[in-house]
Structure 1
Amino acid sequence: MRLVIAEKPSVAQSIAKVLGATDKKEGYLEGNGYFVSWCVGHLVGLAGTEKYNENYKIWDLKDLPIIPQSFEYEVSKGKEKQIKILCKLLNDPKVDVVINACDAGREGELIFRLVYQFAKCQKTMKRLWISSMEDSAIQKGFENLKDGTGFDLIYESAACRQKADWIVGINATRLFSLLYNQQLNVGRVMSPTLSMIVERNASIKAFRPTPFYTIVLDNGAVVFTSEKKEGKVHAEELLKRCKNQHLVVTSIENKEKAEKPPKLYDLTTLQREANRKLGFTANQTLEYIQSLYEKKLCTYPRTDSRFLTEDMVDILPELLLYALTTLRFPRDEEFDVPCNAQLVIDSSKVTDHHAIIPTKSLANYDIEQLPYGEKAVLTLIMLRLLSALGDNHRYSETVVTAGCGDVVFTTKGKTILQNGFMEYEVLLNLAEKQDEKSLPLMAEGEVIENCNAEMKEGKTSPPKQFTEDTLLLAMETTGKDENIEKEFCGIGTPATRAGIIEKLISVNLLERKGDKKTKYLLPTDKGNALITILPESIQSPLTTAEWEEKLKFIETGDLSANEFLSEISKTTENLVRTYDVVKGSEQLFPSQNKVIGKCPRCGSNVIENKKGFCCENRTCGFALWKENKFFTSKKKTLTEKIVKDLLTTGKCKLTGCYSEKTGKTYNATVSIDETGGKYVNFVLEFEKRG
């Protein structure tokens, strides 16, 4: 028997159908010599700190840095049932070969390997590596299974990334949360991303617009404009000199220009375009395209390539026809559809997966059945295929220069000669139809009379706030030097950048603001404050880009995992050892809540809310609830004074406590019995009678 493990149940079902494994069992399918089962995302992950030391449950500066000599793993909460099924299948004597059919990428490799290792499996490992969920692609993939050990370096890179994130995240989050008495989430990729947004926001706030002036001459048929002038007095002088004067044409330059078709989509460019044209977040786009992939309507989404391999040339005319038929163009339009395959074919620029394109399944699918988001993203993918294989967009540009005395004026005109690849998007209203601003016929030496002269004032513009479109671009290109041929750069990966943005928003370091379609990413006050106190080693996008590059080097075998983790560990140790609290930080992190005392677990502030008295550090978990049964059973109320005494001295005297057993009242001293568990316990001490 062969055991196939997919990443999701839906993918497993598609694979099982092709393999003929149709007999449904608890957590897997069986048939035709195969067991086909699945993970549900990460079934196994890095263990929490308490796995190494029970005392780590309580956050304490003296325990930092926490850097395990060897990492422990544990089953993800709520996924115990499926891991038990997989472990049983992996160790079934009937199984002689295990096939990794998780998503064909770094994260899919990690998901499978952690389960394989958790089950202590040592059976022959094969790898299914496909870029489409179509039946024919699955069938071909199983006919050409790869040796699983050939992907060891991809796994090492993924495991290294996971461990590095754990080391930085655990230590930096605890360090800064404890030092500044509130929950401050810090991450290896998350913090540099926030840093870019904070820096952009600060530049915009610091920007001071500079006025400039232009002289405009208009005779009703053509408008000429001067160069920008900084001084208003100088501009007014020029205006006086040009009033009631004529222009003399000094040169006419006609150039035919061409704009090449765009490349096919990789995940990042698709997310950017969906944000710009449709207003979708990066995470929404990823969810939509993942669903389309599982419905067999597009190829593998988590790709960083924008080209196809040479063996795909023959299917392009067929895919073009399906895309053209599926898209609802105006009926009166007829197309001579070009197929310039040489524009998109380059095997040398395809690594793990080729660019995102639609599949042949379009031929038998009514896309009107799709949810709006999926249909809109699939439309973009089909349009991009048509555009990428299309002809150049050609236009003629005319630049006319004229003089009024010694003042130089220009005007430009544009005439579209061939819409080319732009035609498709214009017809579906996904691109603005360009106005053809043609100029009247003019000749050198011609005199232009009756010009109305006026001065127009403008101002320099500040940098623009980040949208998800522009932030994704910044994340992708950080560390890139135009003068250096560099294969790897950027922070995060195409598959993780959407999640990073969502995490920053969920922990209140970032927020979306704007209208329905165009939303800007702005730092919260807490986000601004966090970047203010973070050292360069943690918040630098360039440092993180270098780390991402090294993870790629691990994947290619040019760097060992131990070297990389050693660097991460040393950086973290140095951070914990040398960091000093920023002076005046109480102004950066003002608390809106009344502080009752210090948390006995982590040292953060304990504040009062409607339900009780809780630690400001949300990950700590310390709380004294007002409706605590220990106090309500004694007909006592947990007051602010009692809590203050408990937090200050560990004890508090109670008078008039009710006994449920005797119905009488008594006096006693209550103290906290702190074990670090989910609930805080209390102990009573009774006064000794003389």
Structure 2
Amino acid sequence: MTKKLVITEKPSVAKDLAKVLGTTQKTKTYYEGNQYVITWAYGHLLSLKLPEDIKKEWQQWQLETLPIIPKQIGLKPLPKTTGQLKAISHLANRKDISGAIIATDAGREGEAVARYILEWIKFDKPVERLWISSQTNKAIQDGFAHLKPAKQFDNLYASALARGKADWLIGLNVTRALTTKYEDSLSAGRVQTPTLAFVRETEDQINRFKPQTYYTIQLNYQGQNATLQLANPQQLTSREQADQLVTELMQQPGQVMAVQTKKQSQSAPLPYDLTELQQVANAKYGLSAKKTLSLVQSLYEMHKAVSYPRTDSKYLSTDIKATLKDRLSALVKFDPRAKHYLGQGAKVLQPAVFNDQKVTDHYALIPTEEPARVAKLSNDELKVYRLIVERFLGLFAAPHVTAVTKATVQFGKHTFNFKQTQIIEAGWKATEETPTKPFDWSKGATIPGQFKIKEQLTSAPKPLTEGTLLGKMEKYSLGTPATRAEIIEKLVKTELVTRNGNHLATTPKGQQLLKLVNKSLVSPELTGQWEQSLEAIAHGQKKPEAFIQEIETATKQLVTEIKTSQTEYHDFALTNKKCPECDHPLKERNTRDGKIYVCTNCHYRRRKDPKISNHRCPQCHKKMAIVEGKNGAFFRCLTCGTTEKMMDKKDRKKKISKHEEQRLLKQVNQEDEPAESPLAAALRKAMEK
């Protein structure tokens, strides 16, 4: 009996498929059943070769060898996962394997994960594609019942290859050129550099901003206020101007020129795509883009509660219409509105959400037919799930209907516009607004002049948050919903951007990089054009060869500009401290383990701040720091100054006696035991009576 080899992106997905498909025999590297052998990658098992893998002379970072533009880049296995790659190769060569099924994430990067593997192992049997938008049992069963020929996704793979080569050519050449010319680690790329520029551009606007005082004039009538309409709302720059205008207004009564009431109906917003979800989660809960993606990925893979997260569409395909009742039923215990909407026949009151033309690879983010096990969701997962459910339920909710009344009042040639909104039907929008009395005005009525002058200040632009930065990236087509979070994280990791609370700011290094790097790479327009080209390749509208030729030409131009640039560079990481071994200056670097000093000449490095250990001070019982001295490392208490010799490995392994163990436990328990408060003592005495 022949079987098909199923390749998933992660072991957890392979485990889920195995359960659904009855593939019960488990080994270290795969699951096996009567029809399928299911194996997995760990994300990517292969990557594009580095220059030194192609030519030995490219191992040295030298300005003279740039630009590096090989005819063929090629793939290489990632060292930590070669065992899994060999296991897949062995499975593929089994005589009972008749073909393969790509079951990696249904997107551009997922396609690359599987195709790289199949290309590396030289797989020459038929290949099919599993393309699903949720991980529920039903979706998996339907997906395997309707597998598609992998050839249908050749353009998607071509787009993934083109993106990888473009990032390799631009990012690697520009980074090497900047690093070698200015003798510092300077990272640049076709997407991350214009993204960095957005952050700096906002900072420049804030730095240039000077607050200006201006005055507005308000008319009060029947408890309502209206502001004087001016060609420029900020044109009254002095109190004298405002007083003079009020004097002019009070010379005659006002007259109601028009009263109009219009009914307005507002439908609920469409379901989320990934970018909007990340923006809302950032604004509402302060979650980073990467954190939100991780949470929604967990809701998709582990909990099977939402559809495929890395989507750029807010619409649903028409074939999803038949599943909405089941999805609504799955929410009955989670939100009482679901039961109400089911009682109304699960009727969608926003038919515009069904649009096959606006659904690309995947439809909008919505709940699945599987009820979420709320008790197993983390607090953050629950927050993100609620956001997705709220938008989904909006599809079944009545519109938010209001009556908007506008009254135009004139004092001579000057106009005041009153506006009042009354809620007729709250619909999807929950509101706590108190009902207001409608305008009791009629056209031609006379209005007394009750004016008030307000002093105001112009406000500075707000710093970018991850949410607002994602909006800018989307507007200029920088990256994709799947990659934008990682781009922001890379800017932070390479010390070009810092997070200050929920706001983003450029570092001195990031600011300087923008002055050194090519202007065309800083501008979002060029990168946006490249992203549109990649989309065109994915849809078969552009040849990848033509795109790569454009990238190669741009790479040569960018490297030439850097080589001939006269811009000076100042290394802000350089300190006044000297290396104890060669007397060269030390640089400050951020690492996962804290800040360190590294020598600019030799291999010397040390911590900027001492490492805090779990070893307790014998005097004050605080955790002690590990300090490097001439005779080796020792413990020092930063609170009381006590020092203590560190035991060597042999001494550390020695077991303490039972008596010593009991003494230490008693001492620790006494130290940790909190003193009895007066209130607790009084309660204890009362209970004893």
The TM-score normalised by the length of structure 2 is 0.80
Displacement, 1:244?
Answer: 8.9
Tell me which residue corresponds to 1:171: 173
Residue 495 of structure 1, aligned match among 471, 474, 482: 482
Which region of structure 1 is more displaced relative to structure 2, 400-409 or 347-356? 400-409
User: Are residue 342 (structure 1) and residue 325 (structure 2) matched?
Assistant: no
Q: Relative to 1, partners in 2 of residues 1:236 and 1:50: Cα closer, same or farther, differing over 3 Å?
A: same
User: Are residue 535 (structure 1) and residue 518 (structure 2) matched?
Assistant: yes
Structure 2 CA distance for aligned equivalents of residues 161 and 500 of structure 1: 14
Tell me which residue corresponds to 1:125: 127
Tell me which residue corresponds to 1:453: 451
Structure 1 CA distance for aligned equivalents of residues 49 and 158 of structure 2: 18
Displacement, 1:83?
Answer: 1.2
Secondary structure, counterpart of 1:564 in structure 2 = helix
Q: Per-residue displacement from partner, 1:358-383 (whole Å, max 9, x unpaired)?
A: 11111xx4313211111111111111
Which region of structure 1 is more displaced relative to structure 2, 365-374 or 154-163? 365-374
Structure 2 CA distance for aligned equivalents of residues 240 and 419 of structure 1: 43
Contact 1:343 1:388 in 2 (8 A): no
Structure 2 CA distance for aligned equivalents of residues 251 and 95 of structure 1: 80
Contact 1:97 1:125 in 2 (8 A): yes
Q: Per-residue displacement from partner, 1:8-65 (whole Å, max 9, x unpaired)?
A: 1111111111211111111111112211110110110012222123343332111211
User: Are residue 235 (structure 1) and residue 222 (structure 2) matched?
Assistant: no
User: Are residue 441 (structure 1) and residue 417 (structure 2) matched?
Assistant: no
Tell me which residue corresponds to 1:313: 321
Q: Relative to 1, partners in 2 of residues 1:396 and 1:74: Cα closer, same or farther, differing over 3 Å?
A: same
Secondary structure, counterpart of 1:261 in structure 2 = coil
Residue 556 of structure 1, aligned match among 525, 539, 555: 539
The residue correspondences of 1:179-578 to structure 2 (distance < 5 A) are 179-218=181-220, 221-227=223-229, 228=233, 230-231=235-236, 232=238, 233-242=240-249, 246-294=253-301, 295-327=303-335, 338-340=347-349, 342-362=351-371, 365-423=372-430, 433-434=432-433, 438-449=437-448, 452-478=450-476, 490-514=477-501, 519-578=502-561
Contact 1:126 1:145 in 2 (8 A): yes
Contact 1:413 1:438 in 2 (8 A): no
Q: Per-residue displacement from partner, 1:362-405 (whole Å, max 9, x unpaired)?
A: 1xx43132111111111111111111333221111112222334
Q: Relative to 1, partners in 2 of residues 1:375 and 1:512: Cα closer, same or farther, differing over 3 Å?
A: same
Structure 1 spans left out of the alignment, 5+ residues: 427-432, 479-489, 617-621, 628-636, 638-690
User: Are residue 17 (structure 1) and residue 26 (structure 2) matched?
Assistant: no
Structure 1 CA distance for aligned equivalents of residues 102 and 342 of structure 2: 46
Secondary structure, counterpart of 1:317 in structure 2 = helix
Secondary structure, counterpart of 2:105 in structure 1 = coil
Which region of structure 1 is more displaced relative to structure 2, 254-263 or 284-293? 254-263
Which region of structure 1 is more displaced relative to structure 2, 99-108 or 304-313? 304-313
The residue correspondences of 1:132-147 to structure 2 (distance < 5 A) are 132-147=134-149
Displacement, 1:161?
Answer: 0.5
Structure 2 CA distance for aligned equivalents of residues 296 and 175 of structure 1: 46
Structure 1 CA distance for aligned equivalents of residues 190 and 437 of structure 2: 53
Q: Relative to 1, partners in 2 of residues 1:463 and 1:3: Cα closer, same or farther, differing over 3 Å?
A: same
Contact 1:222 1:440 in 2 (8 A): no
Contact 1:216 1:453 in 2 (8 A): yes
* Structure 1 residue identity aligned to 2:54: Y
The residue correspondences of 1:33-48 to structure 2 (distance < 5 A) are 33-48=35-50
Displacement, 1:578?
Answer: 3.1
Structure 1 CA distance for aligned equivalents of residues 381 and 512 of structure 2: 38
Secondary structure, counterpart of 1:492 in structure 2 = coil
Secondary structure, counterpart of 1:69 in structure 2 = coil
Structure 2 spans left out of the alignment, 5+ residues: 590-594, 608-629, 631-689
Structure 2 CA distance for aligned equivalents of residues 331 and 23 of structure 1: 41
Contact 1:275 1:468 in 2 (8 A): yes
Residue 32 of structure 1, aligned match among 31, 34, 38: 34
* Structure 2 residue identity aligned to 1:240: T
Count of residues in Structure 1 that have an aligned counterpart in Structure 2: 595
Structure 2 CA distance for aligned equivalents of residues 552 and 146 of structure 1: 21
Q: Per-residue displacement from partner, 1:232-278 (whole Å, max 9, x unpaired)?
A: 23322012334597543232121211222211211112212222222
Secondary structure, counterpart of 1:323 in structure 2 = coil
Which region of structure 1 is more displaced relative to structure 2, 384-393 or 494-503? 384-393
Contact 1:65 1:171 in 2 (8 A): yes
Q: Relative to 1, partners in 2 of residues 1:341 and 1:578: Cα closer, same or farther, differing over 3 Å?
A: closer
Q: Relative to 1, partners in 2 of residues 1:80 and 1:125: Cα closer, same or farther, differing over 3 Å?
A: same
* Structure 1 residue identity aligned to 2:76: E
User: Are residue 614 (structure 1) and residue 612 (structure 2) matched?
Assistant: no
Contact 2:586 2:597 in 1 (8 A): no
Which region of structure 1 is more displaced relative to structure 2, 224-233 or 469-478? 224-233
Structure 2 CA distance for aligned equivalents of residues 306 and 266 of structure 1: 5
Q: Relative to 1, partners in 2 of residues 1:434 and 1:81: Cα closer, same or farther, differing over 3 Å?
A: farther
* Structure 2 residue identity aligned to 1:350: V
Q: Per-residue displacement from partner, 1:485-504 (whole Å, max 9, x unpaired)?
A: xxxxx110110001101111
Structure 1 CA distance for aligned equivalents of residues 331 and 256 of structure 2: 49
Displacement, 1:506?
Answer: 0.9
Structure 1 CA distance for aligned equivalents of residues 596 and 209 of structure 2: 45
The residue correspondences of 1:614-653 to structure 2 (distance < 5 A) are 614-615=599-600, 623-624=603-604
Displacement, 1:607?
Answer: 5.3
Which region of structure 1 is more displaced relative to structure 2, 76-85 or 333-342? 333-342
Which region of structure 1 is more displaced relative to structure 2, 72-81 or 11-20? 72-81
Q: Per-residue displacement from partner, 1:160-196 (whole Å, max 9, x unpaired)?
A: 1111111111111111112222111111111111112
Contact 2:576 2:585 in 1 (8 A): no
Structure 2 CA distance for aligned equivalents of residues 172 and 3 of structure 1: 41
Structure 1 CA distance for aligned equivalents of residues 216 and 441 of structure 2: 23
Contact 1:537 1:571 in 2 (8 A): no
Displacement, 1:72?
Answer: 2.6
Q: Relative to 1, partners in 2 of residues 1:76 and 1:142: Cα closer, same or farther, differing over 3 Å?
A: same
Secondary structure, counterpart of 2:133 in structure 1 = coil
Contact 1:49 1:56 in 2 (8 A): yes
Displacement, 1:407?
Answer: 3.1
Q: Per-residue displacement from partner, 1:106-141 (whole Å, max 9, x unpaired)?
A: 111100011111112211111111111111111111
Displacement, 1:613?
Answer: 5.7
Contact 2:313 2:362 in 1 (8 A): yes
Secondary structure, counterpart of 1:570 in structure 2 = helix
Structure 2 CA distance for aligned equivalents of residues 612 and 197 of structure 1: 28
* Structure 2 residue identity aligned to 1:448: I
Contact 1:513 1:522 in 2 (8 A): yes
Secondary structure, counterpart of 1:126 in structure 2 = strand
Displacement, 1:462?
Answer: 3.4
Displacement, 1:586?
Answer: 3.6
* Structure 2 residue identity aligned to 1:466: L
Identity across the alignment (%): 36
Q: Relative to 1, partners in 2 of residues 1:333 and 1:245: Cα closer, same or farther, differing over 3 Å?
A: farther
Displacement, 1:413?
Answer: 0.9
